[in-house]
Amino acid sequence: MFSFLKSLSGVAIILTVLLFHNVLSFAGEISTHPKCFDSCTRVTDNRYRCTLDKATNAARIKGYSCKGDTCILQYDPMDKPKQGKGTGYVKLYGYSDMPYALCSKSECTIDKKHPNKAICNCPIVNTKDDISSVSLGMNNRKKSLPKYDAKGNMVKITSTFSMINVFDFKDQLKTLDDITVCKYGQEHSYTDCFAVVCDVDKQNTLNAVCRCPIKRADSFVSVSGKCNTCPDKLYCGVDTSQYQLEGISILYRHFGGMQDVGGR
């Protein structure tokens, strides 16, 4: 069932960089941890295209184990100092054959009743025995499973992360030229829907309505390739110090036989 993925064996998917304007180093410019990215190229005033430092990002995964349809990964967030006796690592969970909401390219509207949150409409991915069913989250599988009412209708679903809206697997590969870093001269708002529990839209059961926290930073990764310009519209983003592809790459290798995802 993964025959089309096996044809990708040995092929590394490369982050592309536009070759105009000045190439910028991330050191002290954008990322709180400069080794997360190699270099960035300005596209517009606020938009940059960047290449990941693959070795550094791979090193952030300190170990993983898989059993059945779930993997547990030990992840070094790098932006938080290690305290006490623990390692400071956090757990990430990988799942297959589990429905999820995919918010990474969603446009969100600020919730007027709760201005610290944004309302995002996110497509629901509900497939079985397919690479599309693989995603990465922050909670164990039991906590991340959808919730159903007495009639068997799905009513709650968790927003997790996958790359199916970036890669076109059936066409074998699509370069990551739509991954963008948005950089501003001051803190700017974006939404972070990772691990948010969402309501299934009663009018459209293929859509999840997610109320996601609004965060502020002078830069963030935008998988949609769009940066926020309207005061009442926000795009989903990821902190530049935490964005990495090795976790999802491990899942695609384990569940789908895919050799590599992203990086140099």
Write the pLDDT tens digit of every residue in 37-76. 667 788 887 888 777 666 777 777 888 999 999 999 988 7
Angle in degrees, CA 203, 209, 211, rounded to 5? 155
Please give the torsion angle defined by the CA atoms of residues 116, 119, 123 and 125, in that order, rounded to the nearest 10 degrees: 40
Which of 86, 94, 82 lies closest to 139, judged by CA? 94
Kindly report, residue by residue over 239-260, the tens digit of the pLDDT: 876 666 778 778 888 887 655 5
pTM: 0.78
pLDDT in the model for residue 226: 82
Which pairing describes strands 23-24 and 180-191: parallel, antiparallel, or unpaired?
Answer: unpaired
CA separation for the pair 193, 103 (Å, rounded): 7
Read off the tokens for 162: 């996958």
Which of 85, 92, 163, 154 lies closest to 126, judged by CA? 154
Q: Quick check: helix, strand or coil at residue 93?
A: strand
Q: What is the DSSP code (8-state) at residue 1?
A: -
pLDDT in the model for residue 41: 82
Ranges 82-86, 124-128, 160-164: which has the least confidence: 82-86
Q: Quick check: helix, strand or coil at residue 180?
A: strand
Total residue length of the chain: 264
Read off the tokens for 242: 């935490």
Predicted confidence (pLDDT) at residue 84 exceeds the cutoff of 70: no
Mean pLDDT, to the nearest integer, of 18-33?
35
Q: What is the DSSP code (8-state) at residue 170?
A: G
CA separation for the pair 10, 17 (Å, rounded): 22
Residue labelled with tokens 């890669």: 167
Nearby residues of 146 by Cβ (< 8 Å), 6 or more positions away: 98, 99, 154, 156, 157, 158, 200
Give Cα 189 to chain centroid, integer Å. 17
Kindly report, residue by residue over 176-210, the tens digit of the pLDDT: 444 688 888 788 899 999 999 999 999 999 999 99
